[in-house]
């Protein structure tokens, strides 16, 4: 088996943070949390140790692809989505078309749970339309717990790929989290302990969302569901276009 050098985690996070300026024009100035506080400060030792070891019985890839983009889309399927649900599902399908063929993708619903198991993007384009058919608006907005599930999912994927590549979670939501404390805790844990990029598209939401942390997360505010497809396309396509992490200079 070929031996690979360990990926430079600190440089990876710096690259991810640079990439999170993509939708800067859409960022809100106010936030629900202070992104400079200790709870969001990077723990370099934890980042260097991420991802965790692969679970028993799961083989790691012998030749992981350092260019692979692994994405988890969190789809808001809460009751408040109402008649916008179908347009939101179409927006997810449009976004997946923008992902690189070599990537991996999974989709989680806030209330539906696993909509699409981790899949190669090419396979996902065929399977996702059918997987979305039965997703209907229902329930509240458990962003915190679902973000935690998304992080566990992407961490398992990263373990199989031995941390090589780019990892991001894209959240769509039209409202305030019904578990806001858990959302803040899980957001802080992800940002502090991993190089995972977190992007959120807020539908009809004003300033102050817990996922709106300038410099740490990307937050795009859109007025209606008609803008969701374009926003998702921008995140899906543009976050893959940055230069390799070796082009970013590590700072003390």
Looking at the predicted structure, is the pLDDT value of residue 25 above 50?
Answer: no
Q: How confident is the model at residue 65 (pLDDT cuts 50, 70, 90)?
A: confident
- Using alpha carbons only, how large is the chain's radius of gyration in Å? 17
Q: How confident is the model at residue 157 (pLDDT cuts 50, 70, 90)?
A: very high
d(CA 93, CA 205): 23
Q: Do residues 211 and 143 lie in contact, with contact meaning Cβ atoms separated by under 8 Å?
A: yes
Q: How far is CA 222 from the centre of its chain?
A: 18
Q: Give me the count of residues in the chain.
A: 252
Higher pLDDT, 94 or 37: 94
Q: How confident is the model at residue 35 (pLDDT cuts 50, 70, 90)?
A: low
Higher pLDDT, 113 or 22: 113
Mean pLDDT of the chain: 82
| Mean pLDDT of the region 148-172 | 95
Looking at the predicted structure, is the pLDDT value of residue 246 above 90?
Answer: no
Looking at the predicted structure, is the pLDDT value of residue 181 above 90?
Answer: yes
d(CA 21, CA 19): 5
> What is the model's pTM?
0.82
Looking at the predicted structure, is the pLDDT value of residue 194 above 90?
Answer: yes
What DSSP string runs through the chain?
----PPP-HHHHHHHHHHHTTTTGGG--S--SS-TTSGGGS--HHHHHHPSPPPPTT-PPPSS--TT-EEEEEEE---GGGGGGHHHHHHHHHHHHHHS-TT-EEEEEETTTEEEEEEEEHHHHHHHHHHHHTT----S---HHHHHHHHHHHHHHHHHHTTT-SEEEEEEEESS--TTHHHHHHHHHHHHHH---EEEEEEES--S--TT--TTTSEEEEESSGGGHHHHHHHHHHHTT-SPPGGGSPP--
Sheet bearing 69-75, strands edge to edge? 113-120, 104-109, 69-75, 166-173, 197-203, 218-222
Higher pLDDT, 170 or 218: 170
Q: How confident is the model at residue 34 (pLDDT cuts 50, 70, 90)?
A: low
Looking at the predicted structure, is the pLDDT value of residue 243 above 80?
Answer: no
Q: How confident is the model at residue 33 (pLDDT cuts 50, 70, 90)?
A: low
Q: Put residue 163 in one of left, alpha, beta given phi > 0 → left and psi -120 to 50 → alpha.
A: left
Can you give the pLDDT at residue 39? 79
Around Cβ 168, how many Cβ atoms within 10 Å?
23
Q: How confident is the model at residue 205 (pLDDT cuts 50, 70, 90)?
A: confident
């Amino acid at each position: 088996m070929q031996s690979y050098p360990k990926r430079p985690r600190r440089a990876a996070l710096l690259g991810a943070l640079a990439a999170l300026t993509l939708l800067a024009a859409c960022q809100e100035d106010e936030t629900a949390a202070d992104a400079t506080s200790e709870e969001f400060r990077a723990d370099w030792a934890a980042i260097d140790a991420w991802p965790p070891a692969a679970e028993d019985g799961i083989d790691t890839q012998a030749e992981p692809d350092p260019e692979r983009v692994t994405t988890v889309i969190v789809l808001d399927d809460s009751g408040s989505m109402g008649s916008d649900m179908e347009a939101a599902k179409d927006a997810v399908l449009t976004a997946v078309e923008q992902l690189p063929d070599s990537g991996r993708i999974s989709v989680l619903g806030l209330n539906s749970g696993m909509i699409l198991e981790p899949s190669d993007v090419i396979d996902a384009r065929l399977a996702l339309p059918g997987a979305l058919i039965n997703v209907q608006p229902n329930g509240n907005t458990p962003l915190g717990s679902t973000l935690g599930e998304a992080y566990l999912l992407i961490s398992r994927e990263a373990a199989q790929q031995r941390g090589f590549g780019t990892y991001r979670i894209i959240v769509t939501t039209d409202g305030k989290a019904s578990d806001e404390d858990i959302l803040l805790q899980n957001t802080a844990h992800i940002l502090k302990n991993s190089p995972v990029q977190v992007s959120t598209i807020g539908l009809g939401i004003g300033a102050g969302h817990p996922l709106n942390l300038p410099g740490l997360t990307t937050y795009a505010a859109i007025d209606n569901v008609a803008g969701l497809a374009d926003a998702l396309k921008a995140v899906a396509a543009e976050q893959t276009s940055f230069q390799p992490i070796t082009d970013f200079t590590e700072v003390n």
